[in-house]
């Protein structure tokens, strides 16, 4: 089934630079929107990277992570069978190690990027992967489901039944680079190809910090992919736009 895609990346209203970046197929981008349709007989790779490290360091990290992911696709290293989604663990660990090697002695240890992505081999069910707190959602007529679990210290403590107190919400426990020894990588896959009307949303925390899931569901389920993407960015800006905002909306048509 063809997939209609819209990608948007906005600096927000507070930050002085944009450390987010998105990838659609082989095209990493930051400042320009992307709209198009991928037919059922073509692969689709979409991803969002949220850079860390401040200013140029975060911008470099998000770009390099997506470039290396695009390289993995062009080299034929992505799994053809969605059931093999766990192969993304090795791919992301390899990207992590390479980013650490590229940083050099003067780069801050915090330089890194969260990453979330969706891979749909031609004619097959989609699979996904992530490290960090950028998210993937799936919308169907029966509601919105978050397909990723935030890799943050706060979420880790809550799941363990502990009180995180005033711990910063976005202290990530996994990312690409970032000075950590090895990332936690979660992967998954759908049971079948998308059906008409089904939608996926990949996004950075600049969206989810500003817009509750109930509002995401309402906006994601209406209109075209482009209309939904524009509505989501506008809602994040209306909510304060305190961080960079990136959304990729995928709609089965």
User: Considering the domain boundaries, does residue 230 fall inside one?
Assistant: no
- Whether the CB-CB separation of 248 and 202 falls below 8 Å is answered with yes
User: Considering the domain boundaries, does residue 150 fall inside one?
Assistant: yes
- Contacts (Cβ under 8 Å, ≥6 apart) of 64: 99, 102
What CATH number corresponds to the domain at position 69? 3.60.40.10
> What pLDDT shows up at residue 1?
85
User: Considering the domain boundaries, does residue 19 fall inside one?
Assistant: yes
- Whether the CB-CB separation of 26 and 74 falls below 8 Å is answered with yes
The yes-or-no verdict on residue 140 having pLDDT over 80 is: yes
Domain that holds residue 67: 15-194
User: Considering the domain boundaries, does residue 176 fall inside one?
Assistant: yes
- Tell me the CB-side half-sphere exposure of residue 112, using CA atoms within 13 A: 26
Report which of residues 111 and 129 the model is more confident about: 129
Question: Could you tell me how far CA 246 lies from the centroid of its own chain?
Answer: 8
User: Considering the domain boundaries, does residue 30 fall inside one?
Assistant: yes
User: Considering the domain boundaries, does residue 125 fall inside one?
Assistant: yes
Mean local confidence (pLDDT), 29-45: 96
pLDDT in tens, 170-209: 789 999 998 889 999 999 999 999 999 999 999 999 999 9
pLDDT in tens, 51-106: 997 657 899 999 999 999 999 999 999 999 999 999 999 999 999 999 998 887 66
User: Considering the domain boundaries, does residue 174 fall inside one?
Assistant: yes
Number of independent structural domains in the chain: 1
Mean local confidence (pLDDT), 111-124: 96
The yes-or-no verdict on residue 159 having pLDDT over 90 is: no
The yes-or-no verdict on residue 228 having pLDDT over 90 is: yes
User: Considering the domain boundaries, does residue 162 fall inside one?
Assistant: yes
pTM here? 0.95
Which CB contacts under 8 angstroms, 24+ apart, belong to 92-98?
92/129, 92/131, 92/176, 92/183, 92/185, 93/182, 93/183, 93/185, 94/68, 95/65, 95/68, 95/69, 95/176, 96/131, 96/176, 96/177, 96/180, 96/182, 96/183, 98/68
């Amino acid at each position: 089934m063809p997939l209609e895609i819209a990608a948007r990346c906005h600096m927000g209203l507070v930050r002085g630079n944009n450390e987010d970046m998105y990838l659609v197929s082989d095209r990493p981008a930051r400042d320009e929107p992307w709209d198009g349709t991928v037919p059922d007989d073509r692969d689709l790779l979409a991803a969002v990277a949220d850079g860390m490290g401040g200013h140029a360091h975060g911008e470099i990290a998000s770009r390099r992570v997506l470039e290396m992911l695009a390289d993995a696709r062009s080299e034929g290293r992505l799994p053809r069978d969605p059931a093999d989604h766990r192969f993304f663990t090795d791919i992301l660990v390899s990207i992590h190690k390479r980013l650490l090697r590229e940083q050099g002695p003067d780069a801050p240890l915090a330089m890194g990027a969260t990453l979330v992505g969706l891979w749909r081999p031609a004619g097959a069910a989609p699979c996904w992967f992530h490290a960090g707190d950028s998210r993937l959602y799936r919308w169907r007529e029966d509601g919105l489901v978050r397909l990723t679990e935030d890799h943050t210290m706060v979420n880790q403590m809550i799941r363990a039944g502990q009180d995180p107190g005033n711990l910063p919400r976005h202290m990530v426990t996994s990312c690409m680079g970032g000075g950590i020894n090895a990332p936690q990588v979660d992967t998954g896959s759908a049971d079948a190809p998308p059906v008409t009307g089904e939608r996926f949303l990949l996004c950075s925390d600049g969206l989810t910090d500003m817009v509750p899931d109930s509002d995401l569901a309402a906006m994601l389920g209406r209109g075209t992919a482009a209309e939904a993407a524009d509505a989501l960015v506008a809602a994040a800006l209306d909510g304060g736009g305190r961080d960079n905002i990136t959304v990729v909306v995928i709609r089965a048509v």
